[in-house]
Structure 1
């Protein structure tokens, strides 16, 4: 009976492709709707958190403003803030000082240079005094130990300490000796550059006018250089004189180097006399340096004027010139 009934049930037609497609789209729409709902809830939560953070920031700003209002009177009463120092540059420590009077001034100069380059490291007189004492050796260290045996180093005035230091170790008559040495200084066989270094070192210790220093500098130059400068316009001040002297000296040195490395040419214009020239009677012979200078300048070996040579010199005796 049951099989007969089953065979009598009507068979449903298979779903069409359009129905299958609509069902798929419906499921997709439902899924996307769920996803959009989740995103909406997430965005709503983020907005609520953002509002909460904004309220917290506002509260913190109010608290900072209140604190600054209470701190302002106290900061004003505390005085100005400590100065901000630029980044410190590296500097080399001076050589240790063992009490030599001729090295005292240079040692103290180097110490002060270190203090200027490292201001943050040496903000107090005590820190500067400790630094100087740390570089002392020998009898200088013995003096420092005796100096601070009955007094605290931390309460020492640095400038007062330096004044005492100079009284003990600096040359007692440095300025007077500098003036005396400045009056006696000469170039000698040195270059003008070397002579100038010693001159400026001594000149820094005397309170002389520019004209006085100019006269002393000129007096100490080598005679050959003085003769060369005499043919030029006189410099207006000491610095101009030093510059000109260095330039002329460099030129003379260059001439001497060229004369040493250049072969001597025998020409009719520069005869080498074998007997005593009339120009040498009653006067000194020309030095090798002066002969080089006159030859380079085109000057006569006899009278020193330009435009002719010794063979045609009008001041030379005629009978000697024809030989």
Structure 2
């Protein structure tokens, strides 16, 4: 089974590929298409609308002898639609070609231009390699043994390019979507800190004396009227806030305070 030729759209870069498909088609139809006229009619069925159909109509009406000479018909087709200097044009386009997107797309375009150029395999590889993305070209340096044909070289380059593209997509996806391990609260493994409660003065007079000493060690500020009245009403020392004595005989007074 073979694919029939695609319809020719009139573009110069499609001439050689179209004629190659026509040749394949005629080979498979050789038992049914046996004359040059039959080949010409079959050939016309694959000429697209526009310039190709107009050219065919002019051949039928102005030069019908070509329909009975297959070789002359194809030469006339090449002369009309082909490029006079196809090799120079293809080389110019190849020099400007670069891999800007997928390596597979670049490879397909590169091979299309090679149809018009007579390069050795070594030259094909060098020309192909020099236009790859730097990252792909760097990966190709590590390949051992070195591919000896363009097809083998391009196959590996496309594989590298696809892998790097998939890695880039995965990396960007991970940056946009936080992982469950980082977003979920982690259970605490440390001993919880004791709750801080307000200090309640003990009822034991001795304990209150100790507390008074603890408070007297800190710098004293001026008592407010409310605090002074509270201490007097509670029978506490108005100097240190302790119980069991008054300010005049407070044991927590410093020497300077006693003199004052």
CA distance 1:207–1:103, shift in 2 (3 Å): closer
Matched, 1:164 2:81: no
Aligned residue for 1:109, secondary structure, equals helix
Alpha-carbon shift at residue 116 of structure 1 (Å): 2.1
Confirm or deny: 8 A CA contact 1:126 1:153 kept in the other structure: no
Alpha-carbon shift at residue 90 of structure 1 (Å): 7.6
Q: Which structure 2 residues correspond to residues 103-252 of structure 1 after superposition, within 5 A?
A: 103-136=14-47, 137-149=49-61, 152-153=64-65, 156-188=68-100, 190-233=101-144, 235-237=146-148, 238-252=150-164
CA distance 1:103–1:226, shift in 2 (3 Å): closer
Alpha-carbon shift at residue 151 of structure 1 (Å): 5.3
Q: Which structure 2 residues correspond to residues 256-271 of structure 1 after superposition, within 5 A?
A: 256-263=168-175
Partner deviation per Cα, 1:184-208 (whole Å, 9 max, x = no partner): 21101x1211111111221232111
Aligned residue for 1:172, secondary structure, equals coil
Alpha-carbon shift at residue 124 of structure 1 (Å): 1.0
- The separation in 2 between residues aligned to 1:247 and 1:138, in whole angstroms, is 40
Alpha-carbon shift at residue 261 of structure 1 (Å): 2.6
The unaligned stretches of length 5 or more in structure 2 are 180-260
- The separation in 1 between residues aligned to 2:45 and 2:136, in whole angstroms, is 48
The unaligned stretches of length 5 or more in structure 1 are 1-88, 266-323
Q: Alignment length, in residue pairs? A: 177
RMSD over equivalenced CA pairs, Å: 3.1
Confirm or deny: 8 A CA contact 2:125 2:153 kept in the other structure: yes
Q: Which structure 2 residues correspond to residues 44-63 of structure 1 after superposition, within 5 A?
A: none
Confirm or deny: 8 A CA contact 2:98 2:132 kept in the other structure: yes
Alpha-carbon shift at residue 211 of structure 1 (Å): 1.4
Confirm or deny: 8 A CA contact 1:98 1:141 kept in the other structure: no
Aligned residue for 1:262, secondary structure, equals helix
Q: Which structure 2 residues correspond to residues 72-87 of structure 1 after superposition, within 5 A?
A: none
Match 2:12 to one of 89, 98, 101: 101
Confirm or deny: 8 A CA contact 2:110 2:128 kept in the other structure: yes
Confirm or deny: 8 A CA contact 1:91 1:117 kept in the other structure: no
